[in-house]
Amino acid sequence: MVAVQNASLILTMRYTRTLPGDMYFSSTAVMITEVVKVVTTMLILLAEKRSIVEWIKYLYSVSVGHPWDMAKMLVPACIYTVQNNLLYLAVSNLDAATYQVSYQLKILTTALFSIAMLSKPINRVQWLSLFMLFVGVSVVQLQPVNGPVTQSSKEKLSTQNTLSKTHNPLLGLAAVVASSMCSGFAGVYFEKTLKGTATPLWARNFQLAIFGVIIGTMGMYINDGSKIKEKGIFFGYHKLVWLIIAMQTFGGLLVGIVVKYADNILKGFAAAVSIVVSCIVSVYLFQFNLSLPFVSGAGLVMLATYLYGIGQKLAVQKNATNGSK
Ligand code: C5P
């Protein structure tokens, strides 16, 4: 689900950034996504509480009622706002496939931040598996254009049309590297706060989204202030922009759920395995051709996942022997 959501999101984003005509301001899309997240999390909390009075009391308690607890979400909100803005910059300057491949760097940045901030022990076998995962997903994403996870022919055409005019691949790559750092840090910070404090997931998501709206609004005025004053927030919006906002909301909230029930490193594995599975399903649904790079990349992903599990078992055994000494 994560992979399908991600692949279609990137393709749609890339497509909308290469369309001729009035171009929407990406900073407004980042902010509006956070507004939609606030509304969605409020509705989920309402469904949980089943009483309007209880709901209002709860919303008050997790925001104004406990400002210091809420303030913990300020850091990830700032970083995610930067990340979400960088994502548009990257997608506007790189083709979808290059973007997807280089963004896999976040697998490694996430592991590094997990060690530094959560003191997660990662042994040699697990490091090896993380590198294999990184290489494997990159190779899978390098599928030729007939694959569903890379460029559609329409997308490729518009890429070619606009390539010389608008592309600055170096800027795009810098944006991806910075995004990967943001993704690793903010993801692990969110995990640490979620698992280290009593505030539940949906309250945290609500707090994060509220700050997201505030910081997103600041970002909007810093990036495109004068143009927005002249043309309005919703300038250039069409159905696909709303679709991107919906997909971003869904994807973001999904990240929170995965981090709660697993962790950020496993999120990377889940995404990688589902990329492979969605490609295999496409073989049957869309006559997707399995190429040699795909098969070897997919093999690497599977092997990496298996190795990571072995690494975890080794770590548990080592702990047990150390404990019994
Ligand atoms: O690529 P990555 O897994 O770092 O994606 C993070 C995305 O998920 C960001 O767009 C962020 O705004 C969103 N997110 C969210 N709610 C969370 C955690 C992340 O909306 N609890």
- Note the pLDDT tens digit of each residue in 248-275: 999 999 999 999 999 898 888 887 777 7
Q: Which residue has a Cα nearest atom 8 of ligand 1?
A: 252
Tracing tokens 């400002």 back to the chain, one arrives at 67
ipTM, two decimals = 0.98
For residues 236 and 34, what is the distance between their CA atoms, to the nearest angstrom? Answer: 19
In this prediction the pTM is: 0.84
| Nearest Cα residue to 95 out of 16, 25, 151 | 151
Indicate the angle between helix axes 264-285 and 169-196, nearest 10 degrees.
Answer: 120
What does the alpha-carbon distance between residue 183 and residue 121 come to, in Å, rounded to a whole number?
20
List the structure tokens of 12.
């749609």
Ligand 1: residues with CB < 6 A are: 37, 80, 83-84, 183, 187, 190, 205, 208, 252-253, 255-256
Mean pLDDT is lowest, of 104-113, 135-144, 190-199, 262-271, for 135-144
Asked whether the beta carbons of 104 and 141 are under 8 A apart, the reply is: yes
The predicted pLDDT at position 143 comes to 61
Extract the tokens encoding 216. 């997103």
> Over 50: is that where the pLDDT of 148 sits?
no
What pLDDT, on a 0 to 100 scale, did the predictor assign at position 157? 42
Residue 294 makes CB contacts below 8 A (sequence gap 6+) with 139, 140, 143, 147, 279
Atom of ligand 1 nearest to the CA of 194: 21
Model pLDDT for residues 29-71, shown as the tens digit of each residue: 999 999 999 999 999 999 999 999 999 999 999 999 999 999 9
Residues 107-130, mean pLDDT to the nearest whole number: 89
